[in-house]
Chains A and B, each alone.
Chain A
Amino acid sequence: MTGVVDALAVTKRYGEVLGLNGFTASFGAGITGLIGPNGAGKSTLFRLLAGQLRPDAGTLSVLGQPAWSEGSFRRRVGYCPEQPAMYDWMTGKEFVVYLLRVDGYSRAEAEKRATQAIDTVGLTDAKARRVRVYSKGMRQRVKIAQGIAHDPELLLLDEPLNGVDPVGRAQLLALFTRLGRSGHHLIVSSHVLYEVERLTDQIVMISNGRALAQGDLHRIRDLIDERPHTIEITAREPRSLAKLLSGWDHVVGIEFVGPDRLTVRSRLPETFYRELPELVVREGAEISALHSSDDNLDAVFRYLSEGGR
């Protein structure tokens, strides 16, 4: 594996609890979403990447360097932790300036970069206020500002949108997209699937400390093509339609979910979507709506995390 981040059979235990359990994945260039429910091991992986935890087993490299090591390569990494991790008595700008000074920037350069980073995350108006009076969303923005202020090659964002208002979310998502397009590598974790879906198609799915799947979202969808897809159909005469559909080999289940709605489970969704219009024309079936609940990331994740049941 030669990704921006490579994890090979990484295990991390907290006493009896397994944080990561033989996690293997490669995070490539651009934006990668790390998706998993709470407690899946996302933050453990981020802490390992940020050098805050030592793997119990396996190898983990960040930009070609072992993650658990002191080294100048950390200058090339920006980290936005999930926890507050801030000095409340400082102003937002002082906090960012301070961390830049710790990175080795001169005062003048640190001031300049901090101002730019604060502007970038939309905190200009609040930069002179103490962090202790910030809302959760503002704290998130400051954490992101300190993560991007030194213009890192790789940015680790652990649940960066937690507590951010809807408008802020949209703004930050746009910012992450721009950072990705400008040559930065971003690993963004979230348990809110639609957020990641809006950012990237490159995803790593994690559950119970293991990588369930990784790659292009559509390729992951290919992985589960053997699983029957569920399509909800709203029709004028659902029973007649069900009778017609039941004759198709790839339809493995039909269920009535309302007076005018039925769900159909097909093993070959592409075939289903190709043949359905022909059926409508040929038999005169009236269909007013089609909805595939599998067409979002949530369904893919649920399917994979349930072991394909």
Chain B
Amino acid sequence: MSISAPRYAAGPVQLRGRLHRTLAILFRELQERAGAGTWFVMALTYATVVLTVVLGALFAPPGGASLSTFYSPFSSPAWPFLVLIVTTAVGSGAIADDLGNRSITLYLSRPIHLTDYLAAKASAVGVFIALAAIGPGVAGIVVLAGLGSISATLALSAIGAFIAVGLVTVVFFTGLAVALSSLSTKPLYAGVGIFGATFAAEISAETIGGVTGGTSIRYLGPFQDVQAAATGAFQTGASGTIDPLGASFLLLGAGILLLLGAWIRLARVEVVGE
């Protein structure tokens, strides 16, 4: 190996702005998270949801498919469970990896705004969750529309409903993943936290709600909130125990609060030596 003096080009270089730098972090994060495990869970999610959507519509009762037909993926906790797995796979290491391998030091020593760093990390996690939470439903509708099984109007309505439910799901699970990932230097712990927090809330809501018969406590369960949001978006007409609009706002609010919590946490991050 040889070594030489630096030969940098003279003259000022026009540096790009915050968006450019945020996108640089985002694309690197997407690259890192796009592992085989992520794609495996993603493929499983697509197969499950697309099949459910397509078969549900093809075997719809006499009178044909309606918007409520496409509620089928939400009728069981399987879909939010798959989204939770994707969330854990892509979100647990989002910040925990940087804290664990100390690459956070390279960000902290650069002119990076904390907000930009967090926005890039959350966006990368959000993109994957959106692929799992919105993509399969939309793909199923596209398949049905391609087969000529549903009208264009119904297809557009269904796509809109999948996007609406998917977005509140994305905001909540992104907030949860980023917040818990910022609390640990080990992605495994963050992953256990994401799973544990979700199931603790879900089981508590289900158990206490079942015992007391109270409806308010059911808002605590994220899966139940997603299902409630879906009943509203797909106009199932089912009078559930949870208000769809209330559940949607709760998911959005919780997701935003969790992101804010991650911001506050990272603003206090100090890199302490070994």
Residues of A whose CB lies within 8 Å of any CB of B are: 14, 43-44, 47, 50-54, 70-75, 77, 79, 81-89, 98-99, 101-106, 109, 112-113, 116-117, 119-125, 146, 148, 151, 156, 167-168, 171-172, 174-175, 178-179, 182
Contact (A172, B3) CB under 8 Å given A83-B105, A103-B15, A104-B16: yes
Question: Contact at A50–B6, with CB atoms within 8 Å?
Answer: no
B6 and A179: CB pair below 8 A?
yes
Name the A residues within 8 Å of B107 (CB-CB).
102
A25 shortest CB reach to chain B, Å: 20
Residue of B8, B16, B32, B114 most packed against chain A (CB within 10 A): B8
- B3 with A75: CB separation less than 8 A: no
Known: A43-B273, A85-B103, A104-B21. A50 touches B13 (CB 8 A): no
Residues from chain B with Cβ under 8 Å of A113 in the complex: 8
Shortest CB distance A99–B (Å): 6
A44, A73, A74, A125 interface centre (most CB from chain B within 10 Å): A74
Q: Which residue of B lies closest to A126 (CB)?
A: B1
Contacts of B274 in A (CB 8 A): 83
B residues 204-249 touching A (CB-CB < 8 Å): none
Query: What are 26 A-B contacts defined by CB distance under 8 Å?
Result: A47-B105, A47-B270, A51-B109, A52-B108, A52-B109, A52-B270, A52-B271, A70-B112, A71-B111, A74-B109, A81-B105, A81-B109, A83-B102, A83-B273, A85-B103, A85-B106, A87-B32, A99-B110, A101-B24, A102-B24, A102-B110, A104-B111, A113-B8, A122-B2, A148-B6, A175-B3
Please list the 9 inter-chain residue pairs (A to B) with the smallest Cβ-Cβ separation, ordered nearest first: A104-B15, A122-B1, A171-B3, A101-B24, A50-B109, A79-B109, A52-B271, A122-B3, A74-B111
1/0 per residue, CB under 8 A from A, across B1-15: the answer is 111111111000101
- Report A-chain residues with C-beta under 8 Å of the C-beta of B16: 104-106
Q: What total of chain B residues lie within 8 Å of the partner, measured CB to CB?
A: 38
Residue of B nearest to A72 (CB): B111
Instruction: Label chain B's interface by main secondary structure.
Output: loop
Are A116 and B8 interface neighbours, CB within 8 A?
yes
Q: Are A51 and B6 in contact (CB under 8 A)?
A: no
Q: Which residues of B contact A175 (CB under 8 A)?
A: 3, 5
Proximity string of chain B (113-131) to chain A, C-beta cutoff 8 Å, 1 when within and 0 when not: 1100000000000000000
* Chain B residues within an 8 Å CB radius of A99: 106, 110
In this complex, the member of A85, A112, A123, A175 whose beta carbon has the largest number of chain B beta carbons within 10 angstroms is A85
Quick check: B114 and A120 within 8 Å, CB to CB?
no
Q: In this assembly, does B101 line the interface, its C-beta being within 8 Å of a C-beta of chain A?
A: yes
CA A48 to CA B274, docked complex, whole Å: 15
- Pick from A50, A84, A86, A101: contact of B108, CB under 8 Å: A50
Could you say which residues of chain B place their CB within 8 Å of the CB of A51?
108-109
Tell me whether B28 is interfacial, beta carbon within 8 Å.
yes
Interface centre among B5, B6, B274, by most A CB within 10 Å?
Answer: B6
Inter-subunit contact A70/B109 (CB<8 Å)? no
Minimum CB–CB distance for B69 against chain A, Å: 44
Interface residues, chain B, CB within 8 Å of chain A? 1-9, 13, 15-17, 20-21, 24-25, 28, 32, 101-114, 270-274
B101/A84 in contact, CB under 8 A = yes
B13 in complex: contacting residue of A47, A89, A105, CB < 8 Å = A105
Do the beta carbons of B3 and A120 come within 8 Å of each other? Answer: yes
| Interface core residue of B3, B21, B104, B114 (most chain A CB under 10 Å) | B3
Docked-complex contact A119 and B4, CB < 8 angstroms = yes
Return chain A residues, CB-CB under 8 Å to B271.
47, 52-53
Q: A43-B273, A103-B21, A104-B21 are in contact. List 10 more A-B contacts (CB 8 A).
A: A50-B108, A71-B111, A72-B111, A85-B106, A87-B103, A103-B15, A104-B17, A105-B16, A109-B13, A116-B6
In angstroms, how far is the closest chain B Cβ from the Cβ of A47?
Answer: 6
In the complex, chain A residues whose CB is within 8 Å of the CB of B2: 122, 124, 171
Output the least CB separation between B106 and chain A (Å).
6
List B contacts of A77 (CB < 8 A). Answer: 109
- CA gap between A71 and B111 in the complex, in Å: 6
Residues of A within 8 A of B111 (CB): 70-75, 103-104
Q: How far is the CB of B155 from chain A (nearest CB, A)?
A: 39
Expressed in whole angstroms, the minimum distance between the Cβ of A14 and any Cβ of chain B is 6
- Please tell me which one of the listed residues A50, A86, A102, A125 contacts residue B1 in the complex, with CB atoms under 8 A apart: A125
Cα-based distance from A44 to B271 in the complex (angstroms): 9
CA distance A73 to B111 in the complex (A): 7
Chain A residues with Cβ under 8 A from B270's Cβ?
Answer: 47, 52-54
How far in angstroms is the closest Cβ of chain A from B19?
A: 10
Nearest CB of B to A119, in Å: 6
CB-CB < 8 A to B104: which residues of A?
85
Partner of B8 from the list A47, A146, A151 (CB cut-off 8 Å) is A151
